Chains A and B, each alone.
Chain A
């Protein structure tokens, strides 16, 4: 069955076009791969030439504890996000849940809220001492009531699951939608019940979508710095950050980074194994959406469950941030310190965020073009390898990219050191995969005969790219740029480590104020950051049929 499926996919791929690979294109893509490769290879080099003594010290003391912490958190959040994400997409896509059209939107929007901002909000509500909810309960009952602490592993799992499940939700939701009704109908004709069909046919068919979402979550947890630092749970990423920013022990940071990358590579490899070749869900002309299941007596509990998820992942952060923002804007002292801190004004933070993320988006998309053209139009082992290679940025946490750039720029490009361009470079390296994937999927939707028609009508290959391919893939490229912009806007650790003095972005300012305890002061910037991320997210979701 599996093999048949593979065969079918292979047969539907555009036929391999065999006119020779343009050397110019190969050269350009090779340069891009090199640009991506250097920081990665360099950090490995530093990690494993860091000296036996650093390794011994770390092995004896910290690595095991960090390893256990990191793996535990990654596993728990990935599991939690998969469970929440798949059940939310099932309820909103395949059942008669009330208000499901609105819920579809609300369940995707937490992607616009960086987990550390969500964490700040929930922390102030739930903190054992002085948190809003424990205080309320104590007043109510006249004595302190024990509440679960948001600090540590439990809190980190809760917060990260709340703000990362949309990855799984969106990808499994897309898979649910592309599922042809005939698939489930076929299973029913073989005598399977609804429930068995779900487990034996529907979910296995969704596996590519679900594992892709789970992969994004796992890699994001590995890279997460803000939330774990806030909730005082130490992982590789936060330990590297501390080594880099506090003690300036770069050898130790490099060793930790090497281990972290190895973990990420193992996860990537695992996903490839799980996924196999089954990456595509075919939508043919015979496609009909499967009819929704009737929830009947489960309608109320299901609605409450979805409402709870929406409430804690979207409404609570938005309401709290809005209330604080109003409070901050009404208080003249707070307002003054928001508007100006040192030589920097609020406008500067906003502008810095905007231009650095936008520049990163443009560069990432431009760099992704030769790679995508090569891998889509001339699929062979070499071009696939180049494309895969340009996507390793996913697996490399921001702190590691920061470390690598600090070391590299310091040594080889000192004129770039302490300029915002290094920050942009980090964004490009980290978020390139999103651009490459968007460009590749845009090109994949373009029939090769379109290019061939242009060639037979007298255009050279370069003219064809400019006059035919580019105009047709612009929407796809914009989607890629939107994703890079969105994720760069939220990026925290690399920005903190690489920014020159005085280069504050919204994310950086929110973080600094919040870590000093000025939550109310941080709120307007946090809210603006969320709104600025929500705008591209809105347009990205609009591209999906179901969100129209």
Chain B
């Protein structure tokens, strides 16, 4: 049984012209962490709020643990859904202590049990000595963990997290998200989590759902999303790709950087785009010049170069930091990728390509 299932869910706000969430369907298995990722305003937070019951869908249906929670004729309020939610601003109750906050969701349990669970949860998040403190006496990372403990304490069937790390500093964020992933996995919790940070999504999610303009572009494992993007948008958003135009020929794809010997399932002379990441491109100072170095960015262990091709197209390439080439140098650029490259036709990835 799926922990969560969305079927053709659509939600439009009265003040908006286009739907915030447009005909979205996906499922989530037990014990899985799903990251909803996309640029701001793409509908990922609305999707999370629809799952929580904080918004009502206009059409489509939602099932949690096989039970219908929302459809045009039915709506289960958030308090009856058995979910736990971690909010972007943590939303800890300032009038309650840390223990009080964690205990808040344990209403109906005998006092002794509630106390036991609270202590256990605080121990799990490493805050067993903080029970009597108030939220304002905690640091950002501690607050984050209290919010997580509070959401997990009632043993929800589903944990929802809305940009849970965005209020933390960069250093702390890396540390806390590793802890949170550990805790979720330790409890084998099923979780849906929203972020606009690709790297965070790749780190946290067992699977990713990439959103754009209210639509679901692709759902899949991190590797799949990264290496086998279904659309041009996913390749661009998840991997900082450049796109090189090309034309399909009999023996491969003809581009400004030469022929790529890769077969695509398209008629001859179709125009396509090839996604190229910085590690897919290399250049030499010898050989026929086909590009100009425009800028050099120091990235620590390596340099990233911006190259301008004869057509005016910009692409990027990595080189080790031992090799420094001045902007203004004419170079010979080529595709160095040893794996197949992703090819898009009208923004959609073209499958069934075979390396020759």
Chain A residues packing against B (C-beta within 8 Å): 16-20, 447, 449-450, 452-461, 468, 471-472
What CA separation (Å) do A19 and B104 show in the bound complex? 23
Segment touching A, from B90-98, B244-252, B285-293: B90-98
Interface CB pairs A-B, < 8 A, 16: A19-B55, A452-B52, A452-B91, A453-B87, A453-B150, A454-B93, A455-B53, A456-B81, A456-B84, A456-B85, A457-B79, A458-B79, A458-B154, A471-B95, A472-B94, A472-B95
Docked complex Cα distance between A454 and B78 (Å): 9
Q: Are the CB atoms of A455 and B89 closer together than 8 Å?
A: no
Q: Closest CB-CB distance, A58 to chain B, in whole Å?
A: 48
Do B89 and A447 touch (CB < 8 A)?
A: yes
B79's contact among A20, A456, A471, by CB below 8 Å, is which? A456
Q: Which residues of B contact A449 (CB under 8 A)?
A: 87-89, 91
Q: In the complex the two chains form, is B150's CB within 8 Å of A457's CB?
A: yes
Inter-chain contact B79/A17, CB cutoff 8 Å: no
In the complex, B54 has a CB within 8 A of chain A: yes
Report the minimum CB–CB distance from B138 to chain A (whole Å): 16
Q: Are B105 and A457 in contact (CB under 8 A)?
A: yes
Q: Does B182 contact A (CB under 8 A)?
A: no
| Chain B contacts for A471, CB-based, 8 A | 95
Expressed in whole angstroms, the Cα–Cα distance for A450 and B54 within the complex equals 12
Q: Quick one: which of B54, B92, B93, B154 contacts A455, CB cutoff 8 A? A: B54
Complex-state Cα separation, A147 to B203, whole angstroms: 84
Q: Within the complex, what minimum Cβ distance (angstroms) separates B92 from chain A?
A: 8
Task: Name A459's closest neighbour in chain B (CB-CB).
Answer: B79
User: B169 CB to closest chain A CB, in angstroms?
Assistant: 13
Q: Which of B14, B77, B87, B154 is within 8 Å of A460, CB to CB?
A: B77
Q: Does B265 contact A (CB under 8 A)?
A: no
Residues of A within 8 A of B87 (CB): 449, 452-453
Most buried by B among A449, A457, A459: A457
Q: Assuming A453-B85, A472-B95, is B56 touching A19 (CB within 8 A)?
A: yes
Chain A residues closer than 8 Å to B80, beta-carbon distance: 458
Q: How far is the CA of A16 from the CA of B104 in the complex (A)?
A: 26
B15 in the interface (beta carbon within 8 A): yes
Q: Can you name 10 extra interface pairs (CB under 8 A) apart from A450-B93, A452-B85, A458-B105?
A: A18-B14, A452-B78, A452-B91, A456-B78, A456-B81, A456-B83, A458-B80, A459-B79, A460-B77, A472-B95
Q: Mark B94-122, 1 if CB is under 8 A from A, else 0.
A: 11000000001101100000000000000
Q: Are A16 and B84 in contact (CB under 8 A)?
A: no
Chain B residues lying within 8 Å of A452, measured Cβ to Cβ, are 52, 54, 78, 85, 87, 91
Nearest A residue to B13 via CB reads A18
Query: Do A447 and B56 touch (CB < 8 A)?
Result: no
A442 to B31 CA separation, bound complex (whole angstroms): 41
Interface size on B, residues (CB 8 A): 32
Q: How far is the CA of A115 from the CA of B80 in the complex (A)?
A: 57
Nearest to B107 among chain A residues (CB) is A458
Question: For A453, what are the chain B residues with a Cβ–Cβ distance below 8 Å?
Answer: 85, 87, 91-93, 150
A20 to B95, CA, bound (A): 27
A16 touches B91 (CB 8 A): no
- Would you give the 0/1 interface string for B46-60, flagging 1 where the beta carbon is closer than 8 Å to chain A? 000000111110000
Contacts of A17 in B (CB 8 A): 54
Check if A468 sits within 8 Å of B54, measured CB to CB.
no
From residue B215, how far is it (CB to closest CB) to chain A in Å? 20
Cα A461 to Cα B78 with chains together (Å): 10
B interface, CB within 8 angstroms of A: 13-15, 52-56, 77-81, 83-85, 87-89, 91-95, 104-105, 107-108, 150-151, 154, 160
Residues of A within 8 A of B89 (CB): 447, 449
A447 and B15 alpha carbons, distance in the complex (Å): 22
| Closest chain B CB from A449 CB (angstroms) | 4
Chain B neighbourhood of A18, CB < 8 A: 13-14, 55-56
Which residue, A452, A456, A468, has most C-beta atoms of chain B within 10 A?
A: A456
CA distance A471 to B107 in the complex (A): 18
Q: Complex formed: what's the CA distance from A19 to B54 in Å?
A: 6
Shortest C-beta distance, B104 to chain A (Å), equals: 5
Q: Is there an interface contact between A16 and B79, defined as CB atoms closer than 8 Å?
A: no
Q: Which residues of A contact B104 (CB under 8 A)?
A: 454, 457
With a CB–CB cut-off of 8 A, which chain A residues contact B84?
456-457
B321 vs chain A, min Cβ distance (A): 36
- The CA-CA distance from A17 to B49 in the complex, in Å, is 10
A-B complex: 6 closest residue pairs judged by Cβ atoms: A457-B105, A449-B91, A453-B91, A455-B78, A456-B85, A449-B87
B154: chain A residues at CB < 8 Å are 457-458
How long is the Cα–Cα vector from A472 to B134 in the complex, in angstroms? Answer: 14
Q: Name the A residues within 8 Å of B56 (CB-CB).
A: 18-20
Question: CA–CA, A460 to B78, complex, Å?
Answer: 8
Question: Across the interface, which residues of A come within 8 angstroms of B88, CB to CB?
Answer: 449
Q: Which residues on A sit within 8 Å (CB–CB) of B81?
A: 456
Q: Which residues of B contact A20 (CB under 8 A)?
A: 56
Separation of A381 and B95 alpha carbons in the complex (Å): 33
CB of B204 to closest CB in A, whole Å: 20
Q: CA separation between A18 and B15, bound complex, in Å?
A: 11
Asked if A456 and B52 sit within 8 Å, CB to CB, the answer is: yes
A457 contacts across to B, CB distance below 8 A? 79, 84, 104-105, 107, 150, 154
- Which residues of A sit under 8 angstroms from B15, Cβ to Cβ? 16
Do the beta carbons of B91 and A455 come within 8 Å of each other?
no
- Tell me the bound Cα distance from A449 to B79 in angstroms: 14
Q: Which residues of B contact A472 (CB under 8 A)?
A: 93-95
Q: How far is the CA of A456 from the CA of B52 in the complex (A)?
A: 7
Q: Which residue of A lies closest to B56 (CB)?
A: A19
A544 to B268, CA, bound (A): 75
Cα separation A95 to B95 with both chains bound (whole Å): 38
Residue of B nearest to A20 (CB): B56
Q: Which residues of A contact B94 (CB under 8 A)?
A: 472
Chain B's closest residue to A380 (CB) is B14
CA distance A457 to B88 in the complex (A): 16
Residues of chain B within 8 A of A447, CB atoms compared: 89, 91
Q: Which residue of B lies closest to A456 (CB)?
A: B85
CB nearest neighbor in B for A18: B55
A95 to chain B, nearest CB (A): 34
Instruction: For residue A72, give the distance in angstroms from its CB to the closest CB of chain B.
Output: 45
CA distance A512 to B150 in the complex (A): 62
In the bound complex, residues from chain A placing their C-beta under 8 Å from that of B93 are: 450, 453-454, 468, 472
B13 close to A16 (CB less than 8 A): yes
Shortest Cβ distance from residue B96 to the other chain A in the assembled complex, whole angstroms = 9
Contact in complex: A460, B79 (CB < 8 Å): yes
With A and B bound together, what is the CA distance between A450 and B14 in angstroms?
Answer: 24
Chain B residues with CB under 8 A of A461: 77
Residues from chain B with Cβ under 8 Å of A458 in the complex: 79-80, 105, 107-108, 154
Nearest A residue to B162 by beta-carbon distance?
A: A449
Taking the nearest CB of chain A, how far is it from the CB of B51, in angstroms?
11
